Amino acid sequence: MTRLRRHPDARATLLDGEAFLVRPDRDAILRLNPTAAAIWHGLAEPSTRDELVALFATAFPEVPTERLAPDLDRALAALRDAGMVVADDRA
Amino acid sequence: MPSGQPNPVAPCPGSLLLLASLPPAVSEALRRAAPGWPAGSGGDGVRVNALPDGFRVTGHGVDRLAEDAWEAAHWVLAAAIGRAAESSPGRLVLNAGAALVDGQAIVFAGESHAGKSSVALHLAAGGLPLLGDDRVILDTAASPPTATALGLARKVRTPLPRDFSDAARRLVEASRAGHEAGADVLAWDPVIDRPAGTAAAIARVVVLHRDPGVDAARTSRLGTADAVAALLPLCGRHAGSAADLLDAVAGLVRRVPVELLVTPGAAAAAAALPAARSA
């Protein structure tokens, strides 16, 4: 399964505890919702999508996985579409 | 910075001089669209070439074909304003109008059709000078941050909304003199409208949100993150990269109060703005 990582040029700016992501070479600025922010933190180390789901399941044991996964997938897709998260093909 | 004085530091559209002459029809359209520019000014380095079926406008980030002189003038303005916004760190074009109260700018921002021009009309009818009704340049690196007039004619859409006050209706009739009737007319009054380059310190920024479902206008203070998120989509051309824009907007909202104004219409918005209350 594809490992994912933060784009090395993506920069996070914290405002009132909320994160905005921006890349110097792109016009897009992304405000992270809580799910996307958790993914961003989770990707401090490259991870697969399933590893992130497992991380979320541990962090939010009261939320069923079948609810966690779609939220995570939507947020992950937005991060990838904006170029903030990319496949880790360095290995 | 005192109001009504050209900003001596910031080059603005009024300080740009044409290097190339404009076709007469475009020059006339520009005179009517940007009556607050000094006579003979235009877009520095912007070229307008007449074509068999229109015009081509090139320069300062613009390379567009225009079907008629009005469209060509629009692109000349876009190029000149973009150049002014991009010429100095921290500067950006905001989709906003601005009125002067005690020499300070009350900036009211909003998307297209949010009612900026209508709010501006009501504020002007109440006696407030205007820096603009649609776009202004913000200088977030200035201390304090400033809003600068672009010298553009105000838009007046007819027929006027039903909630327009009598004073605003009279102002429309007076200020549209000289323009032919149409769905959109241009208004300019040197008593009301400040010329290009006029800068004033920003007292507050109000984000307009029209909601016909509410009974009365309601204002709420936005936190830093919400204010940045509300203003970013309303920003046009700016100095530097997207990261620089984020820094500029974040710096602005840390120093200037930003409020959300949910309003059923323009008249209610103008009455609710602090500018209107203190006029």
pLDDT over 60 (residue B2): no
Mean of pLDDT values over B10-28: 60
Q: Which of A34-48, B75-89, B138-152, B209-223 has the lowest mean pLDDT?
A: B75-89
Determine whether B172 is exposed, middle or buried from the number of CB atoms within 10 Å of its CB (0-12, 13-18, 19+): buried
Please state, for a pLDDT cut of 70, what percent of chain B lies above it.
84
Mean of pLDDT values over B184-190: 80
User: Closest chain A residue to B237 measured between Cα atoms?
Assistant: A27
User: Which own/partner pairs from A79-82 qualify as long-range (CB within 8 Å, at least 24 positions apart)?
Assistant: A79/A21, A79/A30, A79/A36, A79/A39, A79/A40, A80/A4, A82/A21, A82/A23, A82/A26, A82/A28, A82/A30
Residue A26 in contact with partner chain B when CB distance is under 8 A: yes
Measure in Å the smallest separation between the Cα of B225 and chain A Cα atoms.
5
Mean pLDDT (chain B) is 84
The string of DSSP codes covering chain B is --TTSB-SSS--GGG-B-SSPPPHHHHHHHHHH-TTSPTTB--TT-EEEEETTEEEEEETTEEEEESSHHHHHHHHHHHHHHHHHHTSTTEEEESEEEEEETTEEEEEE--TTSSHHHHHHHHHHTT--EEESS-EEEETTSSS-EEE---PPEEEESSPPTT--HHHHHHHHHHTTTS--SSEEEE--TTTBPPTTBEEEEEEEEEEEE-TT-SS-EEEEPPHHHHHHHHGGGEEEESS-HHHHHHHHHHHHHHS-EEEEEESSHHHHHHHSHHHHH-
Mean pLDDT (chain A) is 91
Q: What is the pLDDT of residues B227-243, one digit of tens each?
A: 999 999 999 999 999 99
Residue A57 in contact with partner chain B when CB distance is under 8 A: no
Q: What does the pLDDT read at residue B173?
A: 72
Mutant choice from A15, A20, A27, A84 vs B, greatest count of B C-beta within 10 A: A15
Mean of pLDDT values over B161-171: 77
User: Closest chain A residue to B238 measured between Cα atoms?
Assistant: A27
* pTM of the model as a whole: 0.86
Residue, of B178 and B165, whose pLDDT is higher: B165
pLDDT over 80 (residue B146): yes
pLDDT over 60 (residue A84): yes
Chain A partners of B232 at a C-beta cutoff of 8 Å? 29
pLDDT band at B19; cut points 50, 70, 90: very low
pLDDT over 70 (residue B85): yes
* Cβ–Cβ below 8 Å for B224 and A15: yes
Q: What does the pLDDT read at residue A91?
A: 59
pLDDT over 90 (residue B221): yes
Chain B partners of A16 at a C-beta cutoff of 8 Å? 223-225
User: Closest chain A residue to B231 measured between Cα atoms?
Assistant: A29
Q: What does the pLDDT read at residue B41?
A: 55
Mean of pLDDT values over B108-129: 92
User: Closest chain A residue to B236 measured between Cα atoms?
Assistant: A27
Q: What does the pLDDT read at residue A60?
A: 87
Order of strands, edge to edge, in the sheet holding B47-51? B47-51, B54-59, B62-66
Residue A13 in contact with partner chain B when CB distance is under 8 A: yes
* Cβ–Cβ below 8 Å for B243 and A11: yes
Q: What does the pLDDT read at residue B18?
A: 42
Mean of pLDDT values over B85-114: 94
pLDDT over 60 (residue B265): yes
Mean of pLDDT values over B106-129: 92
Q: What does the pLDDT read at residue B112?
A: 87
* Cβ–Cβ below 8 Å for B243 and A22: yes
pLDDT over 90 (residue A36): yes
